[in-house]
Amino acid sequence: MEINPNKAVYSLGIGLTNKCNLNCPHCYSRPMQQSDLGLADIKRILKLFPNLKKINFGTGESIFNKDFREIMDFFRKNNIQMALTTNGLTIEQLEDKYLSWFKDIDISIDFPNAKLHDKWRGQSGLFNLAIRGIEKV
């Protein structure tokens, strides 16, 4: 793949995994094979984007990628800002040190009340767990 040097990419969204702790009926990743990008994959991708300043980890719950902490450490050492998109349920599994490395953490709240959110997600109690994730951040 060739990148046009006149069109620098400064921000990139990437899915480190499509593994998730939920089974939302509306999710496009649900029927996919469960797979991860490893640190070697990330290093190859980063070479394509030498001007990269910010990365957003989305698609699936990144904490389920066995290399997630190592990948975060790699981006931090390369002075690339990190953001995380999550359903909020896995936030408590991340140590405060790693949470502090994120410039942005986006927690998906689909509706402004528990009943609608939980119905959309297909399981009761998820709204309150997402709120707990927000409170930890």
Over the stretch 17-34, which tens digit does the pLDDT of each residue have? 988 888 887 777 666 667
pLDDT tens digit sequence for 44-53: 988 988 899 9
Q: What whole-number distance in Å separates Cα of residue 122 and Cα of residue 108?
A: 14
- pTM score of the predicted model: 0.84
SS3 content of the chain, % helix, strand, coil (to 5): 35, 20, 45
**What fold characterizes domain 11-136?**
TIM Barrel (3.20.20)
Q: What whole-number distance in Å separates Cα of residue 17 and Cα of residue 56?
A: 13
**All structural domains of the chain with their residue ranges:** 11-136
